[in-house]
Amino acid sequence: MSNKHQFAVFTSDLNKLDTQELYHRIIRVLRLNTGDQVIIFDRKQHVLAELGIITKNNLDLKFINHIAINQELLPEITVCLPLLKREALETALYSCVELGANKIQLLVTAKSEQAGQKYSTGTLERLEKIMIAAAEQSKNFKIPELLGPIKLEKLLVQLEFQNKTRAIGNLQPGKFNIPAKIFFDISGKPILELISELKLSSKIFLLWGPEGDLTSTEKALILKTGFIFSKLTPTVLRASQAVALGLGLIRILI
């Protein structure tokens, strides 16, 4: 068995592999050769392929196993992520993909609103590229859905509506009908005390404050909406560190 590293490469459509971008990534960037293996994936499926004959502008990819559907990790975790400074936001998004978030909802809060006004389609496209790079590195082929920035207050209204509708809807056996909602804050309960309760929920919403934290008014609103305050460490972490630690613990322990 070969010990050679097995790369994963994203493509927009697994059924259309004759693109110059895919050729450039595999041949020019990764410098793979005939006989090397690579995992090709899009947002729905993935497959292990072997490189055949390589010409100047074309490559031959032979699938060496069946195409597999990208699996959704459970429970479904939505990361509610305030807009951070550029580097911190990119680091946090990378961690979200590595650690298996299902959805990422970008948020505008009182201390991030100025940044929120600067966001554009081009910015979101750049963030999507960062997430794809994280998926290639981690081999988490189910790339999270990235939702454009909304105000925190709007998210809370949406969650309140979900609470009411799910209370009368169908449930998975043994699961709570109301999603679990955690806000990571140094004043809260230790996260390990909440694990047994979280294991009963099929959907979990995780929320962090931005640099500078949420305001007291915002904290009162999220508490009213049913968020449980939980601390990760006895010290104050940087926002991007807190995202990685919080999401990682939930995925490991549930």
Residue 77 CB neighbours (<10 A):
26
Please tell me the predicted confidence (pLDDT) of residue 68: 97
Does 32 share its domain with 59? yes
Please tell me the predicted confidence (pLDDT) of residue 57: 74
CA end-to-end distance (rounded Å), the chain: 34
Please tell me the predicted confidence (pLDDT) of residue 221: 97
Instruction: Please answer whether residues 104 and 81 qualify as being in contact, where contact means their C-beta atoms are separated by less than 8 angstroms.
Output: yes
Cα 188 from Cα 111, distance rounded (Å): 21
Instruction: Please identify every stretch of the chain with a pLDDT value under 70, giving residue numbers as ranges.
Output: 1-3, 113-119, 164-177
Please tell me the predicted confidence (pLDDT) of residue 171: 47
Q: Does some domain include residue 1?
A: no
Query: What residues contact residue 101 under an 8 Å CB cut-off, 6+ apart?
Result: 77, 78, 79, 144, 247
* Tokens of residue 54, six digits: 């390589």
Q: What is the DSSP string of 75-129?
A: SEEEEEEE---HHHHHHHHHHHHHTT-SEEEEEE-TTTHHHHHT--HHHHHHHHH
Instruction: Please answer whether residues 200 and 173 qualify as being in contact, where contact means their C-beta atoms are separated by less than 8 angstroms.
Output: no
Q: What is the CATH number of the domain that holds 43?
A: 2.40.240.20
Does 32 share its domain with 107? no
Point out the domain boundary residue: 21, 37, 69: 69
Region of 213 (left: φ > 0; alpha: ψ -120 to 50; beta: rest) is left
Q: How many domains does the chain have?
A: 2
Please tell me the predicted confidence (pLDDT) of residue 168: 41
Q: What is the CATH number of the domain that holds 216?
A: 3.40.1280.10
Does 128 share its domain with 209? yes
pLDDT tens-digit map of 38-73: 999 999 999 999 999 888 778 889 999 999 999 999
Please tell me the predicted confidence (pLDDT) of residue 209: 96
Does 18 share its domain with 89? no
Q: pTM (2 decimals)?
A: 0.90
Strand order of the β-sheet with 180-190 is 145-151, 103-108, 76-82, 203-207, 180-190, 228-231
Please tell me the predicted confidence (pLDDT) of residue 164: 63
Point out the domain boundary residue: 21, 42, 69: 69
Does 186 share its domain with 246? yes
Q: Which domain covers residue 242, as residue numbers?
A: 76-253
Does 165 share its domain with 106? yes
Please tell me the predicted confidence (pLDDT) of residue 175: 52
Cα 20 from Cα 170, distance rounded (Å): 47
Q: Does some domain include residue 2?
A: no
